[in-house]
Structure 1
Amino acid sequence: MPARLGPDLDSEGGLAALFAAVADAPAIGLAVSGGADSLALLVLAQRWATSLAKPPRLHVYSVDHGLRPEAEAEVAMVLAACQSLGVAGTALRWDGDKPQSGLQEAARLARYRLIGAAMKSDGVAVLLTAHHRNDQAETVLMRLAHGSGIEGLKGMAPMAQVEGVRLHRPLLDVPPDALLSVVEAAGLEPAADPSNVDPHYERVRWRQAMPGLSKLGLDAATLALFAARMSEADAAIAQMAEACFSEIVRLDGFGSARIELLPFMGLSAAIATRVLSRVLNIVGGRQKPRALGQVERLRESIANDDLPRSTTVLGCVVRIKGDAIAVAREPGRSLPPDALLHPRGELVWDERFRIINGSDDKTLTASVADYLPRHRLEDFLGFKVTAPAEAIRTAPIVRDAEGGVLSLGGWSFDERITVQLLID
C-alpha cells in the first residue's frame, strides 16, 4: 500500500485545516521541548497565526524535567526561537525527587501539571502538542500488545483532556520527516533527547521495530488509518451503548445502579461491556475506567449465570437481585474523609457527587453516611428505601454545625445545598 500523504504544510489552506479545531481560541498554548516535531509545531502555528486578520495569542511552554544537564540549554534554545518568531515563551522546571521506576510516565504527569498551572495563570485554555503519525502508530502497537479493545485501538484522539489540561494534537496525520523539513527550512537546529532512542522504554522498542513492520506493509500510515477506523467503530458502539444505557440502567440518589437483566443479556458483547463499564465507572468512583479485562470477565460471568452471590469489581459490589443486576459502591478505605464545604464553593465527593454550597456558611461538612438506619432514611426521604446497604453506607451526607442533615446522597433538604450525581 502506498504511503498516505499528510496535509499540505506549505499552503495557507493546509495550515487553516491543520489548526481549524482551535481557530476560535483567543489564546493557544504550545508544548515545545526543542525536538524537531515540537519546533515544527511552533513554526507552523506562528505561520498560521500571522496569516489571520485576528490571530490568537500564542504562548510556548518548555519544560526542563531535571533529568539531563543538557535540558536547561534546550529550553533556552526554545525560548530564543520563540523570541525570533515573536511568540511568548515560558520556561518551566520539574524539581524534587524523581521515581526509580515509571520515570517517563511520572515526567509526563509532571509536565502537564506544570504547564496546566502556567496556562491557568496566563489565561490560556487549550494546549497544542506535536504528536505525529508515527507517535500514533507506536501508541496503537503498544495498546494492541497490551490487549486493548476498540476504545484503546483508536489511538490518541485529536482532542483530549489530560491531567485537567485541554489538549489538541493537530499533527496526528503528519509524517515526522515532513516536520523535520519544516524545521530545516526555518533554519532551526533541533535538540536530540537520548531517551528517544533508549530501548529501556517500551515506546522506543516499538519505534525500533517499525522499519521491519513497514516492510511487511504495516507502516505508520497504515496504522494511523487503522486507528481512524477504530475511532469510527468506537463512536458507533458508544452511540448504541448510550441508547441502551438510557433504556436499561437506572441510577438512584445513593449513587447505585440497577441494570435490567433480560435486555442486558440480549445485547451484543461489545455493547453490553460498554454499558457495564460505564456503570462501574460511575458507581465505583472512576477507579480504572480502562480496565477492560475485568469488565469483560464480569460480563461473561453474568452471561454464563455463574456470578457469585456478590462480587467486587473496580470499587463496586455487584450482585444479581431478582430481574436486575444491582451495582453499589464498595465500602472501604478508599472512601473520602470528612470535608468542609467552602462558602460559595463546590466539592467533587468520591468522584461521584458534586456538592455545591450556595451559602456563606463556613460550617457545613460532607461525610460518609455510613450506618444510618433505614427508618431514619425513610423519615428524611418520605419513601421506602430499597437501595443496597453498601450504597447507603457510601453515600455522602451534609450536616451543619448543629448536626442537622442538609442533604443525603443526591437529595437536598436545604436550599443552601445542591447535589449532582456525576454520570459522565
Structure 2
Amino acid sequence: MPLARLMKNCWKNFQMRLLVCAKKYGLRSKVPNVDTTADSVKEAERPLDMHELSTAFKVLRPLNRLILAVSGGADSLALMILCHEWLIENSLSLSLYVASVDHGLRPEAKDECALVAELAAQRGLPHATLTWRNNVSASNIQARARDARYQLLSDYAKSLGCRSIAVAHHRDDQAETFIMRLLRGSGVTGLGAMRVKQPVGDLTLVRPLLDIPKSRLLASLRARDLQWIEDPSNHSDAYMRVRMRKLLPQLAQEGGDASRLAATARRLQRADAALDGVASVFFLRHMRPEPGCALSMDPADFMSLEEEFRLRLLRMMLVHVAGPAYPPREEKLIAIDAALLAMRETKIFDKRTMGGCCFDWSDGRVWIYRELGRNPRTILMQNNDPTDWHGLYTIHRPEVDQQLEVKLRDLGADGRALLTEAGLRFPAKATMCGSIPSGLIEALPSIWWENRPQYVIDWPEVASYAGVRVEIEKKNTRSVPNRGPM
C-alpha cells in the first residue's frame, strides 16, 4: 500500500478513536485562541458579592475607627457604600466616618460634598466637609491640592482619635501608577507602586479596593441604581495619569492588561521588602543614633555595600531623621551616594541637603541631621494638647502658667547663643564623637517662653537650669539600638 494512503487511513482511524473517547468520557477539545471577549465583558459587568467584599475589606477588621475619604466620584462612592454594607452584614463594631474635601478649585465641589453628606446620612454615617483655604493662582496647584487633601484628612483623623484613612484606589489606578513610574525610570521600590497599607506620619493610609477592577465598582453602583459625579479633570489629556489610562486598552491587546501590571507591582513589592530587610540589618549594626533623631556613620562601612543597598540606606536615614514623608526621586539619592563615594579619592565631603536633611562631615564621620530650612517652624503650644513635631516626637506643653506664651521651635543659632551666654555648653557625653556639627544642635526641638529656650531635647542641662519638666514621646520611625550615650 502506498505510504500516502497508509497515512490517510491511520489518520481516519485516529480521528474515529478520538471521537469515541470524547463521547465516552465527556472530553472536550481545548481550542487555542478561543474568543473569550464575551465572558470577559460579562465578568466586568458583575457586581461584587459579599464573599469578594469580605476578602477586600479583611484588612479593616483589626480597626476600631476608620475615616472614608469620599469625593462623590464612582470609586470613593463605591468604597463608602460597599464598606457600609460589609460592616452591617458582618455586624462589626468598626466606627466609620466619612470626609469630603472641598479644594475650592471648582464651584461644583460644594454641591458634590453636600451630595456625599446626604448619602452618608441615609446610612447613618457621620460626614464632614473639609475646606482648603488656598491660593488658586499658585503654581503646581494639583500637587499642592493633593498634599492639602491628605493634611486635612490627617488633621480630621487626629481630632477623632482615628489612626486610619481608607481611600478608593483600585486595580486600574495601580496599573496606571506602575506605567507612570516605569516611564520615569523608577527602581524596585517605585515600581512596586501603591501598597494596601501605607504609613503616613502617625496614620495609616488603607487601600482595600486595590485588587478590584474599576469596572466591578461601577457595576456594583449600577446594581444599586446609584449615580456618581464625574470630575472633568479625569478626562483631560493635560494630566499624565489620564494619558496612561487611555493607553491601557492598547497594552491589554498585547497581554499587558491591568491585572498583569498590578501582579507585577505586587511581585516587585515582595522583592522590595526582601531588599529592605537586608538593608535594615546593616542600618541597625552601623548607624549610630545621635541627639535629636540624628544619625552618624563611618563612610567606609557605607562604601562597602552595593549601590542598591546604599540607596536604600539613604532612604532609611531620611525617614529616621526628617520623619515619614514621600521619598525623594532616585536621581537625588544617586547624587548624594556619588558624593559619599568620591570621598575615597578626595577625602573631602561638602555639606549637602536632601529630603529635609543635612549630610555633613565631622570628626571622621558622616552626620545626617534635620535641616532647619529657610522658614523654621514655630508652634504655639496651647492648653495641654500634645504637639506633633515633624512626625518624630509628640511633645506636651509643660505645666507652667497658662498665661505664658509657650512656643515649640528649632533651637536655632539665636537660642544656642542665649544658652552659651548663660554658661551652658552642649554636653560631650551626648555623643561618642569628639565634635558635633553646629547645625545639628541648632535643629534640636526646643520650648521657649519669655524670649528664651527653657527646654531642649537631648540637652538635659537646659531643663535642669530652668527647672522644667516636659513629657515627650519619641516616635518609632525606625528602631535603632542605642550604641552610646544619647
Corresponding position of 1:416: 469
Residue deviations 1:369-402 (CA, integer Å, cap 9, x gap): 5456699526685998522333334334557759
Contact 1:282 1:422 in 2 (8 A): no
Query: TM-score, normalization: structure 1?
Result: 0.82
Q: Distance in 2 between matches of 1:331 and 1:114?
A: 24
Letter of the 1:61 partner, please give it: A
Corresponding position of 2:142: 104
From 351, 354, 359, give the equivalent of 1:317. Answer: 359
Contact 2:290 2:430 in 1 (8 A): no
Q: Distance in 2 between matches of 1:288 and 1:232?
A: 20
SS of 1:309's equivalent in the other structure is: coil
Corresponding position of 2:182: 144
Corresponding position of 2:73: 35
Residue deviations 1:268-297 (CA, integer Å, cap 9, x gap): 222222112322444457787324222222
Output the aligned Cα RMSD: 3.8
Q: Distance in 2 between matches of 1:87 and 1:270?
A: 47
**In 2 relative to 1, CA 400–64 (structure 1 residues): closer, same or farther, beyond 3 Å?**
closer
Q: Distance in 2 between matches of 1:209 and 1:140?
A: 13
Letter of the 1:53 partner, please give it: S
Contact 1:63 1:92 in 2 (8 A): yes
SS of 2:315's equivalent in the other structure is: helix
Corresponding position of 2:208: 170
Matches within 5 A, 1:3-402: 10-94=48-132, 97-120=135-158, 124-162=162-200, 166-253=204-291, 255-283=293-321, 289-304=327-342, 305-306=344-345, 308-314=348-354, 315-319=357-361, 321-322=363-364, 324-329=365-370, 333-336=374-377, 344=384, 346-349=386-389, 355-360=395-400, 367-368=411-412, 369-370=415-416, 376-377=424-425, 385-396=434-445
Contact 2:428 2:434 in 1 (8 A): no
Contact 2:363 2:434 in 1 (8 A): no
Q: Distance in 1 between matches of 2:112 and 2:105?
A: 12
Contact 1:253 1:411 in 2 (8 A): no
Letter of the 2:352 partner, please give it: T
1:336 Cα deviation from its structure 2 partner: 4.1
Higher deviation after alignment, 218-227 or 398-407: 398-407
Contact 1:317 1:330 in 2 (8 A): no
Contact 2:340 2:349 in 1 (8 A): no
Structure index of larger Rg: 2
Q: Distance in 2 between matches of 1:287 and 1:82?
A: 31
Q: Distance in 2 between matches of 1:75 and 1:166?
A: 24
Percent identical among aligned pairs is 30
Letter of the 2:83 partner, please give it: A
Q: Distance in 2 between matches of 1:61 and 1:331?
A: 33
Higher deviation after alignment, 351-360 or 136-145: 351-360
Higher deviation after alignment, 220-229 or 62-71: 62-71
Query: For structure 1, which runs of at least 5 residues remain unmatched after alignment?
Result: none
Contact 1:112 1:163 in 2 (8 A): no
**In 2 relative to 1, CA 276–214 (structure 1 residues): closer, same or farther, beyond 3 Å?**
same
Query: TM-score, normalization: structure 2?
Result: 0.73
**In 2 relative to 1, CA 218–347 (structure 1 residues): closer, same or farther, beyond 3 Å?**
same
Residue deviations 1:58-80 (CA, integer Å, cap 9, x gap): 33333444444444444444344
Question: Hey, which of these two has a bigger chunk of helix by percent?
Answer: 2
Contact 2:360 2:437 in 1 (8 A): no
Number of paired residues? 420
**In 2 relative to 1, CA 53–344 (structure 1 residues): closer, same or farther, beyond 3 Å?**
closer
